[in-house]
């Protein structure tokens, strides 16, 4: 009897170990880095290739729908679309949310989040976060919205940026600071997380936040205190150079000073787990006109181009037309220390003479993807999905998916 009893105990113990191993393996599988793309609602005014149903759903983990915003309502605040006709109008045959509902049935593993804010729609965040009452009114509106659209998996808070005052104008709400944003931002996320868990069940809804890549903006938020309440912090590791500079530079460098790496390490220094950190890839460029050609193309004096923001698919023909140095025309450049790509033109007979573009190429993207895997990060965010080429079957999105789900 004793031998039989111990055999039973041993079998149960081994079964428990196998079971725990299976749970751990399942948890590890869920921890694969994610491909998250932003889909802007103004795509409704573009061609049919830019519709929700035509996204490469089989190569995506999450779609962040941009943008909804904080708006005053009945003495409190509500979550509203920046373009209700484009998003939810039942009389609009191309309404995005109708298409999301259809796609969610076909691709149930892809998460769909509402992204709240964006550069031009942050005017009421600080006022909303100011008091417990104002936060509660907005949080209730968030719950009501998620109830109304059950295909949604959660919310992405894109407040640009807590504690960083900025004037608006011309359709831009700016970002007024009305109180202690650093404290109130954390309180808002804590109360929102608690409300989501209570209403839908613990962990049932995803809550992510966007963050600027510059340390000058990151220091205005308390990531040590807020990270327990969010599933991911999406670092917008782009626009780190642009029209505000009078010289050429990299707008999405991976390494070096003012890079994705410096932003990642800042979050780590505040205790943010690696898997809660995502970095970004822009599928667009910034451009300048060089004052003159010299040996150091990057860092040269230049004037920003008003039409310098080309999509990746618009840059691809320039890459393909590139010629070796010594032959006038377009040239591809790569900064191996920064892991950053660029293009420039030295053909005096071309209307593009002295033009310089900073962007993410397939080479710099591969460096980012390798970095995400080696650093055990949470994934990659993409602004915005239709910078890729739908006609060529989404080569950049495909590269992201294959690299992060190898």
End-to-end CA distance of the chain: 50
Comparing CA positions, the residue from 225, 221, 226, 213 lying closest to residue 263 is 213
In this prediction, residue 63 carries a pLDDT of 98
In a domain, 396, yes or no: yes
Encode pLDDT of 5-47 as tens digits: 445 444 444 444 333 343 333 333 347 899 999 999 999 998 8
In a domain, 327, yes or no: no
In a domain, 201, yes or no: yes
Encode pLDDT of 102-121 as tens digits: 999 999 999 999 999 999 99
The number of folded domains in the chain is 1
Domain that holds residue 179: 33-282+361-404
In a domain, 15, yes or no: no
Q: Token digits for 336?
A: 């191996």
Question: Can you tell me the distance from the alpha carbon of 106 to that of 41, in angstroms, rounded to the nearest whole number?
Answer: 21
Instruction: Kindly report the length of the chain.
Output: 406
Torsion, Cα of 247, 252, 258, 261 (10° steps):
-160
CATH of the domain at 238: 3.20.20.80
Comparing CA positions, the residue from 255, 260, 238 lying closest to residue 119 is 238
In a domain, 306, yes or no: no
Contact 235, 278 (CB under 8 A): yes
Percent of all residues in the chain with a pLDDT value above 90, rounded to a whole number: 90
Encode pLDDT of 337-372 as tens digits: 999 999 999 999 999 999 999 999 999 999 999 999
If you average pLDDT over residues 383-388, what whole number do you get?
Answer: 97
In this prediction, residue 10 carries a pLDDT of 42
In a domain, 13, yes or no: no
In this prediction, residue 4 carries a pLDDT of 54
In a domain, 325, yes or no: no
Encode pLDDT of 139-171 as tens digits: 999 999 999 999 999 999 999 999 999 999 999
Its pTM stands at: 0.92
Which region among 2-11, 222-231, 318-327 has the lowest average model confidence (pLDDT)?
2-11
**CB within 8 Å of 173: residues ≥ 6 apart:** 69, 120, 121, 122, 123, 124
Angle at 224 between CA 221 and CA 227, to 5 degrees: 85
Question: Can you tell me the distance from the alpha carbon of 329 to that of 346, in angstroms, rounded to the nearest whole number?
Answer: 5
Exposed (0-12), middle (13-18) or buried (19+): which is 280, by Cβ within 10 Å? buried
Contact 278, 236 (CB under 8 A): no
């Amino acid at each position: 009897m004793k031998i039989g009893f111990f055999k039973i105990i041993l079998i149960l113990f081994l079964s428990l170990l196998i079971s725990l191993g299976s749970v751990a393996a399942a948890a590890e599988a869920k921890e694969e880095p994610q491909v998250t793309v932003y889909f802007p609602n103004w795509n409704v005014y573009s061609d049919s290739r830019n519709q929700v149903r035509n996204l490469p759903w089989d190569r995506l983990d999450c779609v962040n729908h941009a943008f909804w915003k904080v708006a005053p309502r009945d003495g409190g605040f509500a979550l509203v679309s920046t373009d209700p006709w484009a998003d939810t109008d039942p009389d609009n045959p191309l309404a995005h949310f109708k298409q999301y509902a259809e796609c969610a049935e076909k691709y149930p593993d892809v998460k769909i989040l509402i992204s709240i804010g964006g550069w031009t729609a942050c005017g009421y965040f600080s006022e909303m976060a100011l008091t417990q009452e104002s936060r509660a009114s907005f949080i209730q509106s968030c719950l009501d919205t998620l109830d109304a659209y059950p295909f949604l998996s959660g919310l992405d808070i894109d407040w640009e940026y807590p504690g960083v005052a900025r004037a608006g104008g011309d359709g831009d709400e700016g970002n007024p600071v009305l109180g202690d944003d650093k404290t109130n931002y954390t309180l808002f996320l804590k109360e929102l997380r608690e409300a989501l868990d209570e209403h839908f069940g613990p962990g049932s809804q995803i809550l992510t936040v966007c963050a600027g890549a510059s340390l000058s903006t990151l220091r205005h938020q308390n990531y040590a205190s807020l990270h327990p309440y969010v599933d991911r912090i999406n670092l917008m590791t782009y626009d780190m150079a642009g029209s505000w500079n009078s010289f050429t530079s990299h707008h999405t460098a991976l390494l070096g000073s003012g890079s994705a790496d410096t932003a990642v390490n800042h979050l780590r220094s505040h205790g943010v787990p690696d898997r809660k950190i995502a970095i970004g890839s822009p599928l667009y460029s910034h451009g300048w006109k060089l004052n003159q050609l010299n040996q150091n193309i990057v860092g040269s004096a230049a004037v920003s181009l008003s039409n310098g923001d080309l999509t990746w698919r618009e840059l691809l023909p320039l890459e393909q037309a590139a010629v070796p140095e010594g032959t006038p025309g377009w040239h591809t450049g790569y900064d191996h220390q920064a892991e950053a790509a660029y293009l420039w033109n030295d053909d005096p007979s071309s209307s593009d003479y002295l033009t310089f573009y900073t962007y993410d190429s397939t080479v710099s993207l591969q460096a980012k993807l390798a970095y995400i895997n080696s650093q055990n990060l949470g994934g990659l965010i993409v602004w915005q999905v239709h910078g890729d080429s739908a006609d060529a079957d989404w080569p950049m999105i495909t590269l992201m998916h294959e690299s992060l789900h190898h």
